[in-house]
Amino acid sequence: MRIAIFGDVVGRSGRRALIDELPRLKRRLALDFIIVNGENAAAGFGVSARIVEEMLEAGVDVVTTGNHAFDQRDEVEIFRTEPRLLRPLNFPPSNPGRGAGLFETKDGRAVLVVHAQGQVEMHPCDDPFAAVDAAIGNAMLGRDADAILVDFHAEATSEKQAMGHFLDGRVSAVVGTHTHTPTADDRVLAGGTAYISDIGMCGDYDSVIGMEKSEPLNRFLTKMPSQRFQPAAGEATLCAVIIETDKSGRAISIEPLRLGGILKQAAPDQRT
């Protein structure tokens, strides 16, 4: 199976690049399943029903979020009505929506997607290790799911690496999101789990983690806010990883995808 997981989509620039390019990428790379982290898609903070619908119509199979999941307070109903939209599973159980789901590809294969948030330097939440362990339960790769994919939305690379090793051999991939900066440690762990500490973002990198530079600079220099953060509006770089699994559900490879914008470009080999 060929799986694409895209990092945090930031603002209009990231949305437009993703929606415009995704149909072509899906054909060119022969993608079977696509996950997008959309938590910064609505003006940099949260998601909206319209944005989620646009992503799904463009070919996204599952949208994950993170600590900004509910920032658009008038849009929380979409978490109750759209099963393909996930919030971190270790949020309070009273929160709308869910943090894991079993999804089906067009050719009938089953994909379990699990979404959790870290605890280190993040808003308080329940233990992500226990939550992910419970969500996976006794599900076995190749028997109960053709692939099991974990989006771990966390700040600390140590916590992300620990999650990768905790789940190695039990899941197809553990990918980190949240920091908006792609890391160079993409690899397949000893047990057959693809891993990367952070995919990066889909947004304008002539920015401060996707935000127009002036206000972040002002706050670092003066320690005083002068206005709201605004997403940078220049050309976006799409950051993703392309994961290939075998019949057992374990990873054969993980490769970075960086397309457009100012970052060094990277792409897996084209598939026909």
Q: Would residue 180 show up in a list of annotated catalytic residues for this protein?
A: no
Distance, CA of 253 to CA of 3 (rounded, Å): 11
Burial of 156 (0-12, 13-18, 19+ CB in 10 A): middle
Q: What DSSP designation does 111 have?
A: E
Convert 170-193 to b/e letters by CB count within 10 Å (16 or more is b): bbbbbbbbbbbebeeebebbeebb
Edge-to-edge strands, sheet with 2-6: 62-64, 33-37, 2-6, 238-245, 251-259
Question: Whose CA is closest to 268, among 247, 240, 242, 248?
Answer: 242
What SS3 state is found at 49?
Answer: helix
Distance, CA of 220 to CA of 81 (rounded, Å): 40
Q: Are 39 and 153 in contact (CB under 8 A)?
A: yes
Distance, CA of 62 to CA of 112 (rounded, Å): 10
Catalytic residues: 68
